[in-house]
Amino acid sequence: MNKVPNSRYERMGFKPTPELRGEWKRRFDKEEPHVAVLMLARGGSKGIPMKNIKMLGDLELIGWGIRAALDSDIMDSVWVSTDHDDIAAVARRCGAQVHRRSSQVSHDKCNSWTAIDEFVRNHPEVDIIVHIQATCPCVHPFHVQEGVRMMLQDGKDSVFSVYRRHQLRWSAPKYGMQTSPLNFDPYNRPRRQQWPGELIENGAFYIFTRDVEQQGVLQGGRMGCLVMDSDYSIDIDTDQDWQLAEQRLLRFGYHGRAPKKMKLVVVNIDGTLLDGHVQVSSTGEEFRSFKSTDIAGIQMLQRNGIEFRVVAQGESQVQKELAKKLSLKLEENCTDKLEVIDSWRLELGIEWGNIGYMGCVIDDITCIKKAGMSGCPSDADTEVQKHSHVVSVYRGGQGALREFCEQLLLKCGVEPTLGDTNGKNEKFMAASHIFQKEHAQMSSQPEMPS
């Protein structure tokens, strides 16, 4: 990798002086210390099996840290230490070099330091180790740039990431004794605005010199900490953490140098735009409901030059009228959604990576897997939720589509704003209210989403 030294330091915001280079010579026995990223990714993870190469959004878990490290443009080398062939293959594809970890440091009882020590002993050229943890995928290039700057310019021997927390802590009562406050006075409770809070390790990264590592620790000598915003501070250990990370990554993850370019969004209309229920009057008239905010989401995409189309497994006059009012292309009686969308892809001259897809049932999974960005409502089938990049907090027909549209625009580098709709949204807001009024007067018969 070996970046041009001067440009490396410019990216960190300083220019080395002769005195500073002399200090590096004393500390590292060279004027250009070798800075290496090391990520640990063994194949025997227990909480979430093979989590290191499980897809998180549109990238494997270890890929997020590798991408941030490479795009920082300050590293001499980026490594993944693993004992598993599949993880090694993914690491190389993402741009990292692979250190084949021995079985002696790959079992459950080994801590991180033992695996790091093996790497350090096998790579004597490395002077500063940037240990990015794969389970903290919201690390950005600017985080590691600042951490390494603190090592080189400020003379720190170790730097680690933290976040600020404002929580009042109490001791756990033992042997019948009462609990007691640990970080505040109950008679003088601090106001949040007047209390700086506490710094808590978030596990995102640990940076240290070879000398510190050889003491058997990752933090030592002249220590410093980098305070990361809590939005970037997530550590994946359980399935619940994984779901939270999927949501957090879309807004706070590092998605590479260029924003994603989405050209087409397709939804399975029933269960996403419509709520999946059919109301039938005594005269046999059919009613379905939707939420006006979802219409606003479609309009946001259209104003940003993104084509919006819909597919439906069945046929309905309601969905025909809705598509007509919104000027949307509609494919009804769709038995092969993948084939239809692929024909649209060829028509528009785009790739699947330029397509967003939102669905809710098992039949949608093939399209969800192919799309560059995918989503589903909170009431979608469980398997659909597992494969979707975005799982909305809202149900189908109740705001889920709006949330997906907003997240998609954010990933494209566009701030989602409603702007001027020339009264169009008001028309659909009224229509939505009419549907709700009719809903109260009619007996309902739920219909499975198409």
| Close Cβ partners of 187 (under 8 Å, ≥ 6 residues apart) | none
C-alpha 59, offset from chain centre: 9
CB 367 within 8 Å of CB 266: yes
Terminus-to-terminus CA distance in the chain, angstroms?
50
Active site residue 189: yes
Helix ranges restricted to H, 326-399: 337-348, 365-370, 382-387
| Close Cβ partners of 90 (under 8 Å, ≥ 6 residues apart) | 52, 53, 60, 62, 63
CA-to-CA distance for 51 and 87, rounded, in angstroms? 10
163 strand-pairing partners: 200
- With CA atoms as reference, report the closest residue to 93 among 80, 103, 102: 80
Helix ranges restricted to H, 253-362: 292-303, 317-325, 337-348
Record the tokens describing residue 177, joined without a space. Answer: 């004794």
Tell me the C-alpha to C-alpha distance, in Å, between residue 143 and each of 34, 162, 415, 432: 19, 11, 23, 46
- With CA atoms as reference, report the closest residue to 200 among 225, 172, 170, 168: 225
Q: Which amino acid is at 55?
A: M
Dihedral of alpha carbons 306, 312, 317, 318, sign: negative
Tell me the C-alpha to C-alpha distance, in Å, between residue 266 and each of 311, 406, 447: 7, 15, 21
CA-to-CA distance for 40 and 205, rounded, in angstroms? 12
Q: What is the CA radius of gyration of the chain?
A: 27
Of 27, 189, 251, 303, catalytic:
189
C-alpha 396, offset from chain centre: 22
Record the tokens describing residue 224, joined without a space. Answer: 């410093």
Tell me the C-alpha to C-alpha distance, in Å, between residue 293 and each of 29, 296, 405, 430: 62, 5, 11, 12
The helix or strand, by DSSP H or E, that contains position 330, with its residue range, turns out to be strand 329-331
- With CA atoms as reference, report the closest residue to 153 among 297, 344, 10: 10
Active site amino acids: 189
